[in-house]
Each structure stands twice: as C-alpha cells, then as structure tokens.
Structure 1
Amino acid sequence: MKYLLILISFLFAMEVSASSPSYQVGFTQTQIGKESDRPVPVTLWYPTADQSPVTQVAENSVFLGTSVIQEATPQAGHFPLVLLSHGYRGSWRNLNWLATRLVQDGYIVAGVDHIGTTFYSHDKEAAQQWWQRPRDLTRTLDWLLASPTWQDAIDQHRISAIGHSLGGWTVMLLAGAQTDPVQLLAQYNRYPNPRITAVIDEMDLTQKAPSDASNLQDSRIQKIVSLDLGLARGLSTDSLKTLSTPALLLSAGIDIGDLDEKLETGFLAEHIPLLKRRYKTYSEALHFSFMQLCKEGAEAILEEESPGDGIVCRDGESTRTALHDDMYHDISAFLQQDVY
C-alpha cells in the first residue's frame, strides 16, 4: 500500500509539472515586406528564459491582456511553430490569449494583421484581394525560415496554422481547400444571411483568384485548426474531399444570427475525409467566445458605445475562462498528436 501511495504521488506530481507553464513569454512586433505593395504586420510570441520586466499587451478598457516580456532574448532550443490568422476586421489581439498559452508550453507563435480586413484597416481594394490573406501567412513563414534569429529555432516538421472566423477560412486555403464562386453563390442564396452577403460583396468573393494564386496550399504546414469559421460553403466540395492536411474543426454551438454552425463548420466535417479531421462543437460558446477575455462590465461599455456590439463579450452559461480552458486542451492535444 505504501508503494502504491508513493506511485500515485509521483504520477500526480508529474501531471502537475507537465501542466505548469515551462517558459516565460517573449514578445516582439515587426513588419515584413515594408517596401512592397502589401506589407505584413507580424506579432511574435516566443519562449524566453528572461524574467523581467513583465508588461501587459492587448489590454484596454474592455479586454484583458496577457503578461509578456517585450523584446526578450529568445530561448535557445528547437520549437514547433504556430501561425495565427484573425477574423474579419479583427487583429492579432483576438487570439493573444491562445498565443500566450502556446508559448508557455513551448511553441513559437506568429500572428499577422491582414491589411484590408483588420480592425485598423478597412481598405476595400485590399480586402478584395482575398487570396492575399493565406499568402500573408506563407510570406511570414518564408521570412521566419530565412531569419537568422528564427530559422534554427523552428522545428520545420511541426508547423501549424490556426484561424478564427475568416481566419479559419484562410487556413483552410493553406491546407488545400479552394474557392468555388459558383458554389458560393448557390449555397448562400439557398441559406441567405445579410452579414455573410455583406462580407461576400465587400471582399468580392465571387471573383476568381489570379492564375498565380489559383492554388494557395502551403505544404510546409502540417496541421490546421479552424475556430468557428464562416464562408465554408464557398469552398469547393471536390477540394475538401481530397484534403490531405489534418484539420481540427471547432465551432460555437450558440447561433448569433449568422448561419448555424452545422451549415458552416459542419459543412467542412461533412466533406473532409473522416480520417483527416476532428470536429467538436462547444455548446455554451458564441462566435466571439474564441476571442480574448472580457473585463467585468465590458458588455455594457460596448453596448453604450455601439448598440449591438456587446455580443462580443457574451457567452453561454459557461464562463469564457472555462471555455478557453476546454478549447486549449483540445487544440494542444491535436497539435501534439503525430501527423495522421
């Protein structure tokens, strides 16, 4: 009995140790392609052994930030890489919570701001070059793998991409999905929604990509995670049926007035081969539950500033903190699995 208790105590200690953050979070921002027509703002979170000074990033009157060490020295080692893509009119801040947790567990994370469809840039001409969104991530990956600072720190056999909302659609294109304008119009005429129609019109998604962007797949990316994506029904069923990149498909179970998740993420799950995807719905999550934590009273502040915006901080009966715990558990487990 004594030896059994010792073994249980040892295993418990191992579990606690494995779940405890191993790394401090370094943080830096840059811009690649400054001289090009489409510069890409890049935010980097990475493991560091530095201990101070700790500051808060992505904090404002509504949202909670996270603790990082700005311009910290990168930790020596070889780490998996995760690329992040934000949603329509979002920014790197939206998945800052996820990036921080990943780094604590030993990942390098790079998030981009997609010019034309960010909170700070609503340029319609840039937004209509919709194929540039996945290219932003590919260009960021090119830059990282050529950088003297990052190339040796990245495990090139463990590169993944995660996107929320329109970011989920973006990483699907990186995985090999292709758009089908004819199918898109037919599907969203069948399931009309004013907000989806507005995005389709603003981004001119009925146009085909130029010939040099007809295939946006990046074979260096071994896994993708889609967080409650939209516009799924505009991705050709033929390309989904032949998808070879493993995909984790996560969705929100509470409809906020867009299409039901079964008509979006469920559409992907229906057509992607079963052995190439995992599919889960969080019954207490809304679309914005995948974003950063809101402060107490944030919903009222947003409603006062712009009626209707308070929904960004609304969840089901579960707290957003609890939802994030569940989401991170599922994402982390998927990323750690061997490629299948």
Structure 2
Amino acid sequence: MFKKLIFILLYIYPLFALAQDQIGERTFAFNDTARHRPLKTEVWYPTNDTRKPDSIPGYPFIHIPTVRNASLPSGVHQLILISHGTGGGRMTLEWLADALVQKGFIVAAVDHWGNTYDNKIAIDFVTPWERPQDISFVLTQLLNDKDFAPLIDKNRIGAAGFSIGGYTVIALAGGQISMDALNKFSQTPQGVKEFTLPEFPGLKKAFNPADVEASFKNCPDLKDNRIKAFFAMCPAVGQGFTNRDQLKRITSPVYIVGAQSDSIAPIKTNAIHYQNLIKGSKIYIVPGKAAHYTFLNEGTEAAKHGAGPFLNDDPSVNRHEVHQQVAKIAVDFFATTLK
C-alpha cells in the first residue's frame, strides 16, 4: 500500500497536475457574409489533455505553450471575449487570455477585419463601430457551435478590450459615440496628436470622409445584452463622449485600466474621462512610466530588436509585472461580476 502511494505521488499525480494546467487552443475562420468581414478567431480553454504543448518556431511573443485542438473541458465555463487594439491582432493580448484560462475561463479573441497588423484597410481604422458588431457576431457563432455551445455559461459572459478595443467593449455595454464630437476633437491640437496613428502613417489622406459618415449612419444598436461585464484597458476615442447621456444605458459592471504615461490614449481624455462619465465604473491607473503599448504581449529578445515601443518599455517598467498586476485585476473583476 505504501509503495503504491509513493508511485502515485511520484509519477501519477505530477502528470495529473500538469494536465490540469494545460491550455487548449483552436482557431475558427468565421465569416460575417452580411458585412463582408472574415473574422478569424482564436479560442483558448482549460484542458486535461496530456499531450505536450505545441512549440511555435520563431513565435515573437512570450506565452504559455498550448495544446492545439486539445480535448475539451467538462462542465460549463464563463466566456470572455477579447478585442485587440488598432493595428494589432487576436494574439496580441495572449497574456490576458493565459491568465483567464488558468482560472477556468474560456477566452475568444477576434481579428477585426481591416484593422490588424497584416491587413490594413484605411476605412476600417476610422470606423470603430464595426468592431462591436464583430464581437457580437463571433459570440453568436460560438453559442451555436456544436463543441463550444455546451461549455459556455450563457449567463456569465464578459468582454475585455485594449485601446480601440477598450472603446469596443464600452460600446457593447451601451455607450453611444458621437461622430460630431469626434470630428470636433480631431481638429484640435490634442486631437490631431491622438488621431495620428503609428500603426497607419498617413491615415488621414487614405479614406473618404463621406464613406465614414455613411458607415456611422448605417450602424445598428451596438449594445449586446448577452455580455454582463466589461473590462477596458487604455480605452481610446474618449472624446467621442461628451456627456453622461451617451453612456446612461450602461448598467453592467465596467472596470477601466489606464497607464500614467500613455501618450497614445492619454488618461485625461480617455481612461479617466470614461470613468467620470460611466456611473458606477471602477478605475486603476498603472503608475510611473508604463505606457500604451505596455499592454501588448511581452516580446522575445529577438523580436524586441527594431520593434520600438510596441515591445520595448522605459527601463523602469517591467512589462511582465504590469501584466501580472492587470491580469489579477481582470480575473478578480470577472470572477466577482460573473458569479
């Protein structure tokens, strides 16, 4: 009996414990044909699959290796939808997905069509109201998927977003942006600075304003009542909101995180501005020299060379520690609000 116990402790339990910590990953090629928007989506989930996690040669981000197409978990789980920043991609907030999955959540992140690092379409950089529709479409697809629908607790769904993805989740919560307010702000010195995007140099000359106006007028109601909690990191386009009436429909919990030294979406006109207008919202500002792109994945040493602020921070900033801190806030927020 004693020898059997020793065998279990030394050989069986470590394998079981390892399996419990595994992250499964699947890629979906959704397509919103009504809006002509392919929406590639990455889904991460807890798994007991004992296969060795995949190693991706040349992968530029530090992350927890996953088991591709791993066996699915049992029971039902909270689902968190993630919206990336402008010119980013579905994999750029993998640090947050990892932290959530390790606590039992299923996480889905979408590539917003025309607004990713490898697919830049000018009009899709200036029509942010398309993005909440992407999230709602993907949510519908997952809730109809034969594999994942049974795993998702339909009453415990949340959304998290970074930068313009932060606006995306606020719009899903019920925020209604003003095109006039955005236009007026864009003419100010601060507006010119905020709308000059490093991800798309020369953007202002690359689209037709009439097309943007038409897109805005044809936009449906973006509030998605299926989503119950919202986590916005360094939210952008805050100056499209000038009064509380534009955000009065938000009744679900909202948590906002900003960075003290954010020069892309400065906290005064964005994170703090949103928090002042959204009744009952909570806020945390990462102090010191943490900046906008500190919220992107950590890069490998090889990837950092030539990547500028996207993967490199002020020497006083430990990106890994910022991620750990913000991930804990997010996990606690969703665990509390999606009981």
TM-score category, normalised to shorter length: 0.7 to 0.9
Shift in CA distance, 40/58, structure 1 to aligned 2, threshold 3 Å: farther
| Partner residue, 1:182 | 180
Mapping 1:177-216, distance limit 5 Å: 177-190=175-188, 192-198=190-196, 201=204, 207=213, 209=215, 213-216=219-222
Q: Which residue of 2 aligns with 1:16?
A: none
Residue of structure 1 in register with 2:70 after alignment: 72
Measure the CA separation in 1 of the matches of 2:101 and 2:28: 18
- When residues 232 and 208 of structure 1 are mapped into structure 2, their CA distance, relative to the original with a 3 A threshold, is farther
Partner of 1:295: 300
1:242–1:272: 8 Å Cα contact kept in structure 2?
Answer: no
| Cα distance in 2, alignment partners of residues 76 and 130 from structure 1 | 36
Gaps of 5+ in 2: 1-17, 198-202
SS at 2:99's partner residue?
Answer: helix
Tell me if structure 1 keeps the 8 A contact 2:19–2:48: no
Read off the aligned partner of 1:145 and give its amino acid letter.
Answer: L
**More divergent stretch after superposition (205-214 vs 42-51):** 205-214
> What is the aligned counterpart of 2:137 among 127, 130, 139?
139
1:231 corresponds in structure 2 to 237
Whole-angstrom CA distance in 2 between matches of 1:243 and 1:232 = 15
SS in 1 for 2:134: helix
**Structure 2 matches for 1:199-278, cutoff 5 A?**
201=204, 207=213, 209=215, 213-235=219-241, 237=243, 238-256=245-263, 258-273=264-279, 275=280, 277-278=281-282
Contact 1:181/1:206, CA 8 A, preserved across alignment: no
Deviation at 1:190, TM superposition (A): 4.0
Query: Which residue of structure 1 aligns with residue 327 of structure 2?
Result: 328
Q: CA 1:218/1:54 → structure 2, altered by over 3 Å: closer, same or farther?
A: same
Instruction: After superposition, give the CA deviation of every residue in 1:181-217 in whole Å (9 maximum; x if it has no partner).
Output: 1111233434524453345846759626455534101
> How far apart in 2 are the matches of 1:173 and 1:310?
28
What secondary structure is seen at the aligned counterpart in 2 of 1:67? coil
Aligned to 2:14: none
CA pair 259-100 structure 1, distance change in 2 beyond 3 A: closer
TM-score, scaled relative to structure 2: 0.83
Matches of 2:333 and 2:56, distance apart in 1:
27
Aligned to 1:337: 336
- Greater shift, 27-36 or 76-85, is seen at 27-36
Structure 1 pair 33–110 and aligned structure 2 pair: CA distance change class (3 A): same
Count of residue pairs brought into register by the alignment: 311
Determine the C-alpha separation between the residues in 1 that align with 2:220 and 2:106: 29
Q: Is the 8 A contact 1:50 1:69 kept in 2?
A: yes
Q: Is the 8 A contact 1:222 1:339 kept in 2?
A: yes
* Alignment check: 8 A CA contact 2:173 2:227 kept: yes
In 2, the alpha carbon distance for the partners of 1:214 and 1:139 equals 13
CA distance in 2, matches of 1:206, 1:129: 6
Cα drift, residue 26 of structure 1: 0.2
Mapped contact 1:56–1:66 kept (Cα < 8 A) = no
SS of alignment partner, residue 94 of structure 1: coil
Name the SS for the 2:165 alignment partner: helix
Q: Which of 268, 284, 287 is matched with 1:283 structurally?
A: 287
Equivalence for 2:8: none
User: Which residue is equivalent to 1:63?
Assistant: 61
CA contact (8 A) 2:156 2:338 kept: no
The 3-state SS of whatever aligns with 1:47 is: strand
Moved more, 129-138 or 86-95: 129-138
**Unaligned stretches of 5+ residues in structure 1:** 1-19, 304-308
Contact 1:55 1:68 in 2 (8 A): yes
What are the superposed Cα offsets for residues 65-89 of structure 1, whole Å, 9 maximum, x if unpaired? Answer: 3210001011111100000100010
Q: Given residue 109 of structure 1, which amino acid in structure 2 is its aligned partner?
A: V
Secondary structure of the residue aligned to 2:185 is helix
What's the % identity of the aligned pairs? 25
Following the alignment from structure 2 to structure 1, what is the Cα–Cα distance between the partners of residues 188 and 166?
A: 22
Match for residue 118 of structure 1 among 116, 119, 137: 116
